Structure 1
Amino acid sequence: MPDHTPNHDLRRRIDELGPWFHNMELDGIRTAPDHFLGDYPGFQWERLRPALPADLGGLNVLDIGCNAGYFSIRLKQEGAARVLAVDHDPRYLAQARLAAEVAGVAVEFREMSVYDLPRLGERFDLVLFMGVLYHLRHPLLALDLIHAHAAADLLVVQSLERGAGTAGALAADHDFSEHAIFDRDDYPRLHFVEHAYAGDPSNWWIPNRACTEAMLRSAGFTILSRPADEIYLCRRR
């Protein structure tokens, strides 16, 4: 006789929406128990949370590239007044809607990319931009659009980084004859991936730390802190 218990039905719904990149626990069921990063993105949240305002009450939040909605749900659970979560992938949004349903929280989901931000027509107290930058063909444009059309105050950025993990001081200008500066390991570098990285053809540009920080400054953000490797808390200038 078929098993129609609520837990069995949830397992079926989770499997139908797979594979999942967010390893979430939905009513005791792990969505990606064999994830190569383990408890992802749970461990990222633990690294990020201490850097966020202690009281999230009343905040209007935008989660760009929400995937299965882990961060959106956590922010709503911790008191954010409103969370709008966007992603270009309808399957990720279906996963996120299921996760929010199981968690019993009200999150708004919308299918759109970071390049669509101008049509939102509103700004947010807190913008999350986690694990998206290196998947974009036009990463600096994306940061410019966030600055111009979304972030009213705080921005959190997490990006995969490769190369030197240091960011040295650089002069504001260099003579045309200068060559050596470009060979420094801590010079801002954006590594272009022509085909794929880690089996993923959507990995387009991978910055080093100096490049991530330089792009954030260039787009009009002040870096307040780096609470963990590859994570930046910024304020809009």
Structure 2
Amino acid sequence: MIDYSPLLKTLSHSPLAHWQSALAAGLQQRLEGLQHGDLERWQSSLNTLPPVAGVECDFSEGVCLRSNTPLDQTTQTQLHDALQGLHPWRKGPFDLFGVHVDTEWRSDWKWQRVAPHIDLSGKRVLDIGCGNGYYMWRMWQAGAELVIGVDPNLLFLNQFEAVKRYLPHAPVWQLPFTLEELPEPTAAFDTVFSMGVLYHRRSPLDHLLQLKACLRPDGELVMETLVIEGDEQQCLLPEDRYAQMRNVWFLPSVPMLERMLRRAGYSDVRCVDLNRTSVDEQRSTDWMRFQSLPSFLDPADSSKTIEGYPAPLRATLVARK
């Protein structure tokens, strides 16, 4: 698994120095206690990743790794099969030494919508619900000094490690925790991302307050979430599933979410993007062979989910602490 000692050393010279002992103990406990029916398969896939010399990265338009010596066909097949062993791939795409991982989501499209509105140069960044780390690599490319992501999903951790193995010295780290399991952040981060998380929270206002506690004074929150159309009084609380997702609790209108952010103590709140998710942006592929958005929409009316709710509409908001 990932060697976190460089991260712990980095933290000792930062406002997160108090994390060292608690994080080291928590990581040891979590990594020693990892349990999942597919974990052995994932670990086997990681162990068959071929070594690659002369690694070069280009994240200007995606997550792309190249070698100054192109891989032969046997090595490229070995790499392809190892990465396929980590199926399903949700966020991406990745281009790893000529192997194109065509993920369920065109996350590069979302990043193109977010990136013009933020400045990460020299920033200490926290990414909540970071998935397999796709956006963290883009954050680093955008100039972040340190990127830490949290996500308890073990498949996502293994997918992140598949990329991290080829960039071991990058200041990009994924922790197998939830936000609540982290040590007290004491306002240490310049920028906090919460993308695709709020609607999974039973208590959305508490989530906004937790995110604020992670930010230094004048730090910036970047929030992307499902919303509905309407005024500041409108929200949707699904009866059961939303687009076949069980754990969707709260979809506010943009004006309601802006008000919530202000009530939680944020300032300079603004919506910078509003986008209706298309079946070109989220779909099944050879790298995610289960059902995806086309199966979750009403076949007779794509403006509605299969349950009859408004189809997915996503907003990106930025705000200051």
After TM superposition, is the score higher than 0.5? yes
- Three-state SS of the structure 2 residue aligned to 1:142 is helix
Offset at 1:121? 4.7
Match of 1:168 in 2: none
Q: Where do residues 202-221 of structure 1 align in structure 2 (5 Å cutoff)?
A: 202-221=247-266
Gaps of 5+ in 2: 1-71, 275-314
- Three-state SS of the structure 2 residue aligned to 1:119 is coil
Match of 1:154 in 2: 220
Change beyond 3 A, Cα 1:196–1:57: same
Offset at 1:102? 4.4
**Cα offsets for 1:30-80 (capped at 9, x unmatched):** 4345x3x5xx21111111111112xx3321110111011111101112221
Moved over 4 A (4+): none
After the TM superposition, which of the residue ranges 131-140 and 187-196 deviates more from structure 2?
Answer: 187-196
Whole-angstrom CA distance in 1 between matches of 2:254 and 2:127? 22
Gaps of 5+ in 1: 165-185
Offset at 1:103? 5.8
Give the alignment partner of residue 74 of structure 1, picking from 129, 138, 154: 138
CA contact (8 A) 1:190 1:206 kept: yes
Offset at 1:112? 1.6
Match of 1:50 in 2: 116
CA contact (8 A) 2:258 2:270 kept: no
After the TM superposition, which of the residue ranges 188-197 and 137-146 deviates more from structure 2?
Answer: 188-197
Change beyond 3 A, Cα 1:202–1:11: farther
Question: Across the two proteins, how many residue pairs are aligned to each other?
Answer: 206
Whole-angstrom CA distance in 2 between matches of 1:137 and 1:108? 27
Offset at 1:188? 3.0
Match of 1:233 in 2: 318
Change beyond 3 A, Cα 1:99–1:215: farther
> Do structure 1's residue 97 and structure 2's residue 166 form an aligned pair?
no
Whole-angstrom CA distance in 2 between matches of 1:93 and 1:116? 16
Change beyond 3 A, Cα 1:57–1:99: same
Change beyond 3 A, Cα 1:13–1:195: farther
Q: Where do residues 1-237 of structure 1 align in structure 2 (5 Å cutoff)?
A: 5-27=74-96, 28-33=98-103, 35=104, 40-53=106-119, 56-102=120-166, 105-117=170-182, 119-121=184-186, 123-148=188-213, 150-152=214-216, 153-164=219-230, 186-229=231-274, 230-236=315-321
Give the percent of matched residue pairs that are identical in Structure 1 and Structure 2. Answer: 30
**Cα offsets for 1:11-47 (capped at 9, x unmatched):** 22322222121032231434345x3x5xx21111111
Look up the equivalent residue of 1:6 and give its one-letter code.
T
After the TM superposition, which of the residue ranges 89-98 and 41-50 deviates more from structure 2?
Answer: 89-98
Change beyond 3 A, Cα 1:198–1:82: same
Offset at 1:132? 0.8
Aligned-residue Cα RMSD (Å) equals 2.2
**Cα offsets for 1:75-127 (capped at 9, x unmatched):** 11222111001112121122122234446633111112233355345520011
